[in-house]
Amino acid sequence: MYILLTIAKNTFTETLRQPIYAIIIASAILLFVISPSLTMYTMSDDNKLLREIGLSTLFLTSLFIAIFSASGAVAQELESKTVTTVLSKPVRRPIFILGKFLGVSSAVAIAHFICTTALLMAIRHGVLESAGDEHDWTVILAATVSVFASLLLAAFFDYYFGWKFSSTAVLLLALFSAFSLIFLGFIDRHWAFHPAENGFNAIDVWGTVLLLLAAIILTAWATLFSSRFNIVVTLSVCVGIFLLGLVSDYVFGRFAETHLWAKIGYYLVPNLQIFWISDAIYEESSKITFRYLAMAASYTACYTGAVLAAAIALFQRRQIG
């Protein structure tokens, strides 16, 4: 267990230090900032479109962070031969794969939380549908303070203590994002203490939790392919699995009872429609129950375990050194 946690910790630290990790998060936050302006030109349901676009952005962000982080943590170590040094010590290959997966999953969870905070802030602010609508200055203040405080403190720690600027900024942003959510959870848009009117919807929160479960599945796939292939192949295959998973019921599900190939494909390809709630956004009566979350979490655990078992089996037979 100590070796497993050590590998996971080192992988988590290395992932946060990758430049692409911070770039993807910054790009996603920028998209969340401008999303209220992009969704204000529909005839109706501007805020519902804002929620759907925001969840789509969050889903794609988690996908690309999982792919690039897993490739950087596993594939680059294999190409640079540093894995030879690690496996020359009393480290078993299954422990190595599991440690890498846990480290990358932790980094994906941090990025997912930061982007979720940005999404919830964008939804709380809403779309200015008419000239009489006003900006939510509580959201603007909380977001501005979180970003600038994170950047200033990261620069301070980098200058005086030599800490990595990008990784420190990401961790500080996650911390300040949590404080911002707590602040906005109790203070309404009129600067009054009114938790009942905080502007957050439970379906949006549970929707982001479901997307995190989907990101864990994609992280397992990225770990599997990065243990055997380079980043180009990993990116291509994972994007293909992502797209097939979104249409799994249509491509495989409707033929599963009559065709063997469809039944095999339905079991092998992850059904990502389980984690996507776009239909529920447009139905006011829709709710995400605890039972549904538990079933989705169970599906994630079983499917992730199967993919990691395949990753371990493939990595066991790989020539190292």
pLDDT tens digits for range 166-201: 899 999 999 999 999 999 999 888 888 888 888 788
pTM across the whole model: 0.91
- The mean of the pLDDT values for the chain is 86
- Calculate Rg over the CA atoms of the chain: 21
CA distance readout (Å), 161 to 93, 134, 137, 176, 273: 35, 43, 35, 21, 46
Instruction: Kindly state the tokens that stand for 43.
Output: 């005839």
Looking at residue 80, its pLDDT comes to 67
Token representation of residue 76? 């680059």
**What is the phi-psi region of residue 187: left when phi exceeds 0, alpha when psi lies from -120 to 50, beta otherwise?**
beta
> Which whole number is the average pLDDT over 91-116?
91
pLDDT per position as a tens digit, 56-96:
999 999 889 988 888 777 777 777 666 766 666 777 888 88
pLDDT at 284: 63
Cβ–Cβ under 8 Å, residues 119 and 31: no
- Whether pLDDT at 143 is above 80: yes
DSSP state of 276: -
The amino acid occupying position 140 is I
